[in-house]
Amino acid sequence: MAIQSLYIINKSGGLIYQTDFPLPTNSSTSTSTTTTTTPSLTRLTANDYLVLAGTLHGVFAIASRLTPTAVKLTKTPPPSSNILPSYNNSGLRCIETEQFNLYIYQTITGLKFMIITTPTVADLNYATDVAETAMKSCYEVYSDYVMKDPFYELGMPIRGKAFERRLWELIVGK
Amino acid sequence: MSQPSDIIQVSNPTQTSTKSALKGGYNPSLGPIQLPTSYQAQLASTASSKRNIYDHSLSRRAPEVNLSSLSYIFNVMIQYSQKNSKGIQELEGKLNTLGYSIGPKVLELITLREGKNAKREIKLVEILQFIHTQVWRTLFGRVADELEKSSEADDEYMITDKQPLMSEFISVPKDMGQLNVNAFVAGIIEGILDVCYFQASVSAHTVETPGCPNRTVFFIKFDRDVIERENLRFHK
């Protein structure tokens, strides 16, 4: 399971950040440390990403309405064990396909983090937990490098270099 | 002292028995309310169980401030200064002024903490070393990276910080290219130098190196008089 793409969607469904990550190459085959940085996914136009995010936001809202109350996850983990729990208790948490897996993490403020990963053979619950941990780390980077930036306007696209740098350090590891 | 407590009894006869309902301060219908001394003592004892920042000794060596709180307040300072200034230069000037007032206070605090070892620096290089080590350690918990003298002019010095604490989370947008929010820290340095009678102007500049995108150089230009005085005193 490798993270291919990250989307951050604000609470009104607007895409505020999108990036594609290169797939990690096998260490045995790669000779130099400077591996290719070509993204593993084909780039869409900027508009397509916005449409994608908006659609997903809508589907997410519909899904949470469709979820029967009995099925909704009611347990909220104790704050000591889990500092940033996902507030995505209903609706869409993951989509599993043969081509990719998609996971969604929602913060208490309504911000959505979405990652697309390569398909996994592991148990879906386990994979969701792993993905949520990764998105939680992204959320931590977001709260440090976006929310503490005086030049960032809330709800607007993220352009900060510091955020991007830390995110790549986190996901790609350099 | 018995009189004020009588006033309270008249106004709230039922509440005097439950002391928790008592509140000192100003009541519009009664004027200022003074609580009985016994109650005040009780209040003070409950308050002292929770120490606040003013109870700490100033000489404590490692007082720490939450980095998030610092970042948020610095954010607001930048946004406020930006709102009230027309250009980048004016913004940097405003941040510099905000920092300037902190300088003398930091100097006072460090001298107080050093106690008997405190020394008044009169040599130019020594005051710079003091800023480079002691001031940096007090403010940011570590020593600044480099202290250099300009090769071109004898009144120019540079202090370098590879990863400045104040701008750690801040990305300056492209249209504000030359802005460096460490103008605030430059202001602190300027304040210290001025109050030590080393009049100088200090500015902060981003000088990027690979691996250190936030590397900041604090450029210190001393007044001509200071250099002349230095030459007269120490290089005859």
Average pLDDT over residues B108-115: 87
Share of chain A above pLDDT 90, in %: 22
The residues near B1 (Cβ < 8 Å, ≥ 6 apart) are B34, B36, B37
Q: A86-92, long-range: CB within 8 Å, 24+ apart, which pairs?
A: A86/A132, A86/A135, A86/A136, A88/A112, A90/A63, A90/A64, A91/A60, A91/A61, A91/A62, A91/A63, A91/A64, A91/A65, A91/A66, A91/A67, A92/A59, A92/A60, A92/A63, A92/A64
In this predicted structure, what is the pLDDT of residue B160? 94
Contacts of A162 in chain B (CB under 8 A): 168-171, 213-214
Q: Is B11 on the interface with A (CB under 8 A)?
A: no
A70-90: burial string, b at 16+ Cβ within 10 Å, e else? eeeeeeeeeeeeeebbbebeb
The per-residue pLDDT for range A59-73, each reduced to its tens digit, is 888 888 887 766 666
CATH H superfamily, domain B67-234: Trafficking protein particle complex subunit 3 (3.30.1380.20)
B22 confidence band (pLDDT: 50, 70, 90)? low
Contact yes or no for A150 and B213 at CB 8 A: no
The answer to whether residue B4 scores a pLDDT higher than 50 is no
The answer to whether residue A130 scores a pLDDT higher than 80 is yes
In this predicted structure, what is the pLDDT of residue B18? 43
What is the spatial distance between Cα A122 and Cα A115, in angstroms, rounded to a whole number?
A: 17
Average pLDDT over residues B154-162: 92
Q: Is B153 on the interface with A (CB under 8 A)?
A: no
Q: What part of A 129-148 touches B (C-beta under 8 Å)?
A: 144-145, 148
In this predicted structure, what is the pLDDT of residue B16? 43
Contact yes or no for A159 and B171 at CB 8 A: yes
For residues B41 and A77, the model is more confident at B41
User: Which pair of tokens denotes residue B212?
Assistant: 């250190």
B75 confidence band (pLDDT: 50, 70, 90)? very high
10 Å CB burial of residue A36 (0-12, 13-18, 19+) is exposed
Average pLDDT over residues B2-18: 44
Choosing among A149, A161, A168, which should be mutated to test the B contact, i.e. which has the most B CBs within 10 A? A149
In this predicted structure, what is the pLDDT of residue B144? 92
Nearest residue to A116 via CA among A42, A61, A59, A169? A42
The answer to whether residue A26 scores a pLDDT higher than 70 is no
Smallest CA–CA separation between B213 and chain A, in Å? Answer: 9
Q: Is B184 on the interface with A (CB under 8 A)?
A: no
In this predicted structure, what is the pLDDT of residue B112? 87
Other CB atoms within 10 A of residue A19 CB: 14
**DSSP string across A125-170:** HHHHHHHHHHHHHHHHHHHHHTTT-TTPPTTSPP--HHHHHHHHHH
The per-residue pLDDT for range A102-118, each reduced to its tens digit, is 999 888 888 999 999 88
Question: Across the interface, which of B68, B170, B176 has its CB nearest the CB of A162?
Answer: B170
Smallest CA–CA separation between B193 and chain A, in Å? Answer: 29
Contact yes or no for B71 and A160 at CB 8 A: no
User: Which pair of tokens denotes residue A13?
Assistant: 């469904």
Smallest CA–CA separation between B20 and chain A, in Å? Answer: 32
Contacts of A151 in chain B (CB under 8 A): 170-173, 176
The answer to whether residue A169 scores a pLDDT higher than 60 is yes
B183 confidence band (pLDDT: 50, 70, 90)? very high
| DSSP summary character for residue A22 | P
Share of chain A above pLDDT 70, in %: 78
φ, ψ (nearest 5 deg) of residue B159 = -110, 130
Q: How far apart, in Å, do the first and last CA atoms of chain A sit?
A: 19
Q: Are B168 and A166 in contact, with CB atoms under 8 Å apart? A: no
The answer to whether residue B26 scores a pLDDT higher than 80 is no
Nearest residue to B195 via CA among B203, B185, B187? B187
Q: What part of B 64-83 touches A (C-beta under 8 Å)?
A: 68, 71-72, 74-76, 78-79, 82
Q: Are A92 and A106 in contact, with CB atoms under 8 Å apart? A: no
The answer to whether residue A33 scores a pLDDT higher than 50 is no
Smallest CA–CA separation between B191 and chain A, in Å? Answer: 25
Contact yes or no for A149 and B213 at CB 8 A: no
In this predicted structure, what is the pLDDT of residue B15? 43
- Average predicted confidence (pLDDT) for chain B: 82
Average pLDDT over residues A11-29: 77
What is the spatial distance between Cα B160 and Cα B148, in angstroms, rounded to a whole number?
A: 8
Contact yes or no for B68 and A163 at CB 8 A: no
At residue B219, what is the residue type? F
Domain boundaries, chain A: 3-171
Smallest CA–CA separation between B161 and chain A, in Å? Answer: 17
Could you tell me the fold of the domain covering A3-171? Answer: Beta-Lactamase (3.30.450)
